[in-house]
Amino acid sequence: YVVPLQNEHENDDTAKANQSVLMQIIRKIQQQISINFPDVLNCTAAEWWSHCRPHCSGHQLHFDSDDEGRGGVRNPVASTVTYLSCDDTSVGGETLVTSQSSVSKKLATKGWLCSNKRNRVLAFKGNLLHGVIPGAGAQSSHKEGKRVTFMVAFWKRIHVQDKEGFGSARPFSRVENEEWAKPLVEKMVSSPGSSANKGGEGGKRCENCFFEVPVWEDVDKEKNQEYGMAIQNVTRSRVLPPYDAFFQFFS
């Protein structure tokens, strides 16, 4: 869903919306990442969504893009992932962010895994290829646990898809009166000394939470070489292979 990022004092309705639980969370994330991504302070809209996935369920590599890339790829200024699961960090896999951008002519040669921890916020350039690695180990040991994350992408401009049904970039205003959304539009209540009221603070940078990893490897090197599609051949090429020519997250 998309929410506008307007000046808090523009009008009474906007000021009221900015006091909601949802907007306070988004504003907090915006302020925290602005040290490394100052352009987020000039963004006009935030698109947010969430995932609740079983332990073994990953998310294919993809780019965050306006209207899912229809009509050309348009990326946000920055994308964020906030990890909300309980302190059991073994539930679900890590987020993988690669060095490959939406305008790259070569496959990524580097990737970074961000380890899971409750309330950890990961931010990265909005044009980078990223995904979620499936959780390691048997599902049976994680029957009750789910990998719960809250994502926010910050946009200078985004085409709001004001259509019926589900899909990307729908206006949050259309559903804010539904039962599931009502807690999000309630006014944030916090004490004067709480962190929610401390505007402009940057988040504490995490140490030792990123791990550099290879992104692509040959599953069948001999067969790939036979067809000229081995990783060493592809990385030398100035033309990327088709997206569906690759398997993802096999181990």
Q: What is the mean pLDDT of each run of 10 residues along the chain (251 residues)?
A: 75 64 95 95 96 88 81 89 79 91 86 91 95 78 77 94 82 93 86 49 68 85 82 74 65 40
If you ran DSSP here, which 8-state letter would residue 219 be given? S
Sheet holding 2-4, edge to edge: 2-4, 45-53, 147-155, 78-83, 121-125
Question: From CA 89, how far away is CA 124, in angstroms rounded?
Answer: 21
Q: Which amino acid is at 235?
A: T
- The beta-strand segments (E) located in the chain are 2-4, 45-53, 59-62, 78-83, 95-101, 111-114, 121-125, 128-132, 147-155, 210-213
If you ran DSSP here, which 8-state letter would residue 122 be given? E
Q: What is the pLDDT of residue 141?
A: 57
Give the model confidence (pLDDT) of 178-209 as tens digits.
999 999 999 877 644 555 445 444 556 777 78
Which residue bears the tokens 């935030």?
46
Q: What is the pLDDT of residue 185?
A: 92
Say if CB 151 and CB 51 are below 8 A apart.
yes
Give the model confidence (pLDDT) of 136-158 as tens digits.
876 555 556 788 999 999 999 99
Q: What is the pLDDT of residue 39?
A: 96
Question: From CA 151, how far away is CA 48, in angstroms rounded?
Answer: 5
Q: The dihedral of CA 110, 115, 118, 120: what is its sign?
A: negative
Considering the chain, what is the average pLDDT of its residues?
82
Q: What is the pLDDT of residue 251?
A: 40
218, containing H or E segment: none
Q: Which amino acid is at 91?
A: V
